[in-house]
Amino acid sequence: MEQRTYSQYCATARTLDLVGERWTLLLIRELLTGPKRFGDLQAGLRGLGTGLLAARLKHLEREGLAHKITLPPPARTPAYALTEAGAELAAPILALARWGMKWAMGDRLATETFHPGWAVLGLRACFDAGAAAGLHAVYEFRIDGEPFHARVADGTIEALHGPAQNPDAVVTITEDAFLRVTGQGLPLAGAVESGAASVSGDGEALRRLPRLFRLPSPRNRSQEAPGAHP
C-alpha cells in the first residue's frame, strides 16, 4: 500500500506523514514503556488486527522509528523497540496526554476499554518535578493485580511496567477506583477508606505521593471563550 502524504515541505506535515496514520501513535505509546513482543502489542491494542499491526510495525521499521531486537534471558524472544528518533516522540505524546486529560476525557463510554498499563505514561505526563524535589523513593502500583512502578529521584521520574524489586511504598487499587482517583478527583485516602485501595510502606513516601502527580482540571471544549460575545 502506498504511503499517504500531505505533500507539504513543513515539519508538522512531514511528521504527520510518519506518525499520523491510525494506530501509529498508539503503537509508539506502547513501545515508550519498553520493548514489546508482537503478542504484547496486540494485547495492549485491542481492535488492531494482526495484519494491520504487522503493517504498522513494518512502517515504523522502514522509517527508522522502531527496530527488531531479541529480549535478554530468560525470554530470548523477538520483540520491537524504539530507535532514538522514535523515543524522542515521548515529549509530544505526553503533551497530547496532558491535553487530553484537560480537554478530551469526559466520562468513560461503555464501548471503551482500559488497560492498566497505560497508567505508566500517565504518571510521567502528570508528574510534578517541583513536588518531588529531594525525594528518593520507589512506588509500586497494582491495578487489579497488574503491577507497574515509578522510581522518583529528586525531581525526576522513571515509570516502567512490572513490579519493583524493593519498593518503598505499594499502592493496591481496583481499576474502577483508580479511574475515579485519576479522572474524577477522588482522593486516594477516600479509596482506601472505602476498601477499594490499600497502601503500605514508608510513611514519608506515602505522605508525599498525592502531591507528586498534578492532574489537569477538566475543561469543556464547547464553553464560550473568555471575552467572546454572542
How far from 76 is each of 4, 40, 52, 53, 170, CA to CA, in Å? 36, 15, 25, 22, 30
pLDDT at 182: 85
Q: Read off the pTM.
A: 0.87
Residue ranges in the chain modelled with pLDDT below 50? none
Domain edges within the chain = 11-88, 116-211
β pairing state of 136-143 and 169-173:
parallel
pLDDT digits (tens, 9 = 90+) for 71-113: 988 888 999 999 999 999 999 999 999 999 999 988 888 999 8
**Is 56 in contact with 24 (CB distance < 8 Å)?**
yes
Name, in order, each residue with C-beta under 8 angstroms of 189's C-beta and a sequence gap of 6 or more.
210
pLDDT at 184: 77
pLDDT at 225: 60
Residues composing the chain: 230
pLDDT at 3: 76
Q: Cell 511528521 maps to which residue?
A: 15
- Rounded to whole angstroms, how far apart are CA atoms 208 and 212? 7
Name, in order, each residue with C-beta under 8 angstroms of 110's C-beta and a sequence gap of 6 or more.
none
pLDDT at 215: 87
Q: Which fold has domain 116-211?
A: Nonspecific Lipid-transfer Protein; Chain A (3.30.1050)
pLDDT at 82: 98
pLDDT at 217: 86
Right CATH for 11-88 from 3.30.465.10, 1.10.10.10, 3.20.20.70, 1.20.1560.10: 1.10.10.10
